Amino acid sequence: MTKGWGNLTEYYRARAPLRIGIAGGGTDVDPYASKKGGCVLNTTINKYAYCTLTPRSDNTMCVHSSYYGRFEAPLDGGPLKFDGNNDLIKAVTNYFGVTDGFDLLIESDAPAGSGLGGSSTMIVAMISAVSSWIGKKMYHDDIAKLAYHLEREVIGLKGGLQDQYAAAYGGFNLMDIDSRGVKVQKVDIDEDVADELQYRSLLCYTGTSRESAGIIKSQIESFNKGENENALDESKRLAKEMGKALINGDIEEAGVLLHESWGYKKQFSDKISNDTINKLYDLAIRSGAIGGKVSGAGGGGFMYYICKYNKRADVAQELQKHGVMVTNFMFDPKGVTSWRCKNE
């Protein structure tokens, strides 16, 4: 990287939306996705990963994060080595050949291991901030492909394809995934339907995070043994059916399909659910939820429910009695965005 990229009097900020995996999550993970083709329905929400890049006058990268702590590294000694410490920004820095120093502030509206696609969303925000700084024009598909390549193939973090594309594109999307790549189809939901779904949706935090890599590894092992192929097939079908239900404005049907989808998702691996999650789910159904699921790989984090038209408050109240934190949110149709400001 040559001197002069960016301006020391400006900083560059990017924001990428977190996502709720509604149906089909897990079918975007290889080897199933490459062999049989996956399909995922998801939506982004107004919870974000933020990345703020401030150029420095030296050759040092200095990362600040409330979760990962502080990290510094010189950028004039060749590619940064991966060791599990801030590997996401190392991968982005190496890819773009950055040698000018910068400060990087990393923030997220959700805790790590929450099931909202946090790490993938963060690397999307990082790519957007760095590309904005160096003046490289990147489109949503470019950012998503690069984020997947760096996170999954370069660093080697286990996972699927949906998170990077959700963060890059934003909105309600149905994603068809196969060995050739990802086809993102916007789910065209009527505004009244989206508003009603918003009202009847409940997002709550179980209070426990989880490490998705172990769950995904277990799912892959089960697929290789032929133990969960039918469940993955059915989940893929239900993602498409749920997309149709929302387009048709049938929220009741979407809730029923969500319930059915959760039943199949639990068959991916014995690590997807546990006694606590099962009890909370049963409580929500008894209180007026039509269907629900754990967002993401499973094992903890956030749970998402679609409730009967007049029962959302009842479901929330019962879950809160059992220590669950209900999280206010809105659907956000926008994908990753970046901007720059004067560093006063």
- pLDDT tens digits, 236-247: 999 999 999 999
Euclidean distance between CA atoms 94 and 81, whole angstroms: 9
Euclidean distance between CA atoms 321 and 317, whole angstroms: 6
Instruction: Please tell me the pTM assigned to this model.
Output: 0.93
| Predicted pLDDT at 214 | 80
Strand partners, 316: none
Strand partners, 203: 304, 327
| Predicted pLDDT at 115 | 84
Residue from 28, 87, 163, 176 carrying the catalytic annotation: 163
Alpha helices in the chain (DSSP H): 32-36, 87-96, 118-134, 140-148, 162-169, 191-200, 212-224, 229-247, 251-265, 275-287, 312-321
| Predicted pLDDT at 1 | 43
Total length of the chain: 344
Three-state secondary structure call for residue 324: coil
Strands 60-65 and 102-108: parallel
- Among 54, 28, 29, which Cα is nearest to 40's? 28
pLDDT cut 90: percent of the chain above it: 79
Three-state secondary structure call for residue 85: coil
| Amino acid sitting at position 86 | N
Euclidean distance between CA atoms 298 and 341, whole angstroms: 39
Tokens of 160: 């699927």
Helix axes 118-134, 140-148, angle to 10 degrees: 120
CB 336 within 8 A of CB 126: no
Burial of 308 by CB count in 10 Å (0-12 exposed, 13-18 middle, 19+ buried)? middle
| Residue 163: active-site member | yes
Torsion sign over Cα 151, 19, 55, 338: positive
| Predicted pLDDT at 113 | 75
CB 7 within 8 A of CB 57: no
- When computed from its CA atoms, the radius of gyration of the chain, rounded to whole angstroms, is 20
Q: Which residues of the chain have pLDDT under 50?
A: 1-4
| Amino acid sitting at position 10 | E
Terminus-to-terminus CA distance in the chain, angstroms?
25
CB 23 within 8 A of CB 40: yes
